[in-house]
Amino acid sequence: MTEATSIDRRPTRVVDEFARRYGRSAAFIVRAPGRVNLLGEHTDYNGLPVLPMAIDRDIVIAGAARADRVVMLQNIEAQFGARDYEVNEDIAPFAAGDWGNYSKAAAQGLMRYCGGQLPHGAELLVDGNIPSGAGLSSSSALVVGNALALLAANDVDVRYITLAELLPAAERYVGTLSGGMDQATSLLAQPGHALRIDFFPLRVRTLPLLRGYSIVVCHSLVQAEKSGPAKRAYNLRVIECRLACRVLERALGSGLPRPLQTLGDLVTLFPGRPLVEFVSLISTQAPDRPLSLAQIAAIIGTAPERLRSECHITADLGDRFALMRRLRHVLCEAERVDQAEEALLAADAPGFGRLMDASHQSCRDDYEISCVELEELVRIAKEAGAAGARLTGAGFGGCTVNLVADAEVQTFLRRVDRSFYHARSALAPDIHRCRFIFKPHSGAEVRRL
């Protein structure tokens, strides 16, 4: 791997345990971090930018190549049972929600990319410390880690930027229509920096952090597994955005040079035009309330079944689609990312905090991805003096991200513990695992042993 550097902070237990379980030495170890997103929520799959950074929690995998194409997968944690499967270009999934599917997702994606040229499977042992269902991207870190492990087993180099482009599509194997933020951050993060990531094509640039401020992550204690209950709600948002594209196409009529692949195309097709103008435009076509597919098809001037098949709308998503407010969130959120980048470059912490607060309100009111516990945490955070506080990741539970002046961090934590975690000690026996401060970490690494 060209990007390989030393891995010095992880304990050796995964390597020792590998030898104990598989009866031979590991030949390589890979590390893939989780991420927290500062701003730009649910913009990535719309081709609009995000502002994340890697956290210091990660997935570590020790591995060794096998002569055949079998992958044997084990986890240090007993709750994740041993799995094995054969690598090919069309791998049948384990049951929905099974952790082994993230490994299969990576393997199938790489096999398709390499035209079947990965002759070796691997014995792998996973040791992760990213809380799952917390909106910190444990699943994508697992996909990235498995992909790097399989490439190491086959002695194949693929550039990280290429992996960051192909793994999001590979991860859709688990049934969630996610964008590319998580994999790109896990692979390409830079220590001490936030990233601005743009999509289609993928572009990444590093941004400075706000001096004198800490990023504090707090878990709402509500699990939001993207491959579980949150999947339908997440996928529905993706489809609502696809439908909003179609209504906008109709509204723009002959003023549109080509069909919209994503909402992000508006930036390239109408340079300099404020994105919020398109919100006013869609409101001339679609009222601000959920519509049925038949109503949307009538607005567009097409048949409902045709629209269903063109937008890949599955029956489990139901028949109520909110377009106006979803569009308002996505386009305003993209403008906030631009403004937030300027705030970082200008070292304007209060300005950045205000954008975080506005993002949270929009996630709650227009994208409807918050929940009671996240609201309580954000309210407490603001009362405790956070410059900015918002949900992070897909939403529906998981974590908040907070911008807190260094001098106020201890007071902030005491306040959050007292007002939120103490009343939930049954759910959170170890408070220190529920909220943490971190410095942005480096992206994924591979080391040969």
Q: Which residues lie near ligand GLA (CB under 6 A)?
A: 37, 41-42, 44-45, 137, 178-179, 181-182, 393-394
User: How far from the centroid of its chain's Cα atoms is residue 47's Cα?
Assistant: 14
- What are the residue ranges of helices labelled H in 11-95? 13-22
| 3 state SS of 55 | strand
Determine the residue type at 381. A
In angstroms, give the least distance from the CB of 90 to ligand GLA: 24
Beta strands 399-405 and 445-448: pairing type? Answer: unpaired
* Residue number, 178 or 402, with CB nearest to ligand GLA: 178
Nearer to ligand GLA, 33 or 393 (CB): 393
Active site residue 182: yes
From the CB of 102, what's the least distance to ligand GLA, in Å? 12
The four Cα atoms 368, 370, 375, 379 give a dihedral, to 10 degrees, of -80
Burial of 317 (0-12, 13-18, 19+ CB in 10 A): middle
Task: Quote the least distance from Cβ 52 to ligand GLA, whole Å.
Answer: 9
Tally of CB atoms within 10 A around 203: 12
User: 4 or 169, CB closer to ligand GLA?
Assistant: 169
Residue carrying structure tokens 């799952």: 132
Work out the angle at residue 335's Cα, subtended by the Cα atoms of residues 333 and 336, and round it to the nearest 5 degrees: 60
User: What gap in Å lies between CA 297 and CA 323, rounded to an integer?
Assistant: 13
- d(CA 53, CA 361) in angstroms, rounded, equals 22
| Closest approach of ligand GLA to the CB of residue 76, in Å | 24
Q: Which is nearer to ligand GLA, 169 or 269 (CB)?
A: 169
Residue among 41 and 373 whose Cβ is closer to ligand GLA: 41
Least distance in angstroms from the C-beta of 161 to ligand GLA? 17
Task: Give 28's Cβ-side CA count (13 Å radius).
Answer: 25
Phi, psi for residue 386 in degrees, rounded to 5: -60, 140
For residue 204, the 8-state DSSP code is: E
Nearer to ligand GLA, 44 or 123 (CB): 44
Contact indicator for 202, 164 with CB cutoff of 8 Å? yes
Residue in this structure with the two tokens 């945490």, named with its chain if needed: 377
* Contact predicate 179/45, CB 8 Å: yes
| φ and ψ of 189, to 5 deg | -60, 155
Dist. CA 171–CA 289, nearest whole Å: 32
Q: How far is the CB of 354 from ligand GLA (least distance, A)?
A: 20
Kind plus residue range of the DSSP H or E element containing 377: helix 372-383
> Annotated catalytic residue: which of 58, 182, 198, 265?
182
Collapsed DSSP state (helix, strand, coil) of residue 139:
helix
Q: Cβ contacts of residue 121 below 8 Å, gap of 6+?
A: 65, 66, 68, 69, 70, 71, 72, 86, 87, 150, 153
Between 123 and 357, whose beta carbon lies closer to ligand GLA? 357
CB contact at 8 A, 389 and 370? no
CA dihedral 352→356→357→360, nearest 10 degrees, is 170
CB of 368 to ligand GLA, least distance (A): 13
Least distance in Å: CB of 39 to ligand GLA?
10
Alpha-carbon span 210 to 74, nearest angstrom? 40
Instruction: State in angstroms the smallest separation of the CB of 349 from ligand GLA.
Output: 23
Smaller CB distance to ligand GLA: residue 167 or 307? 167
Return the number of the residue (181 or 210) whose C-beta is nearest ligand GLA: 181
Active centre residues (catalytic): 182
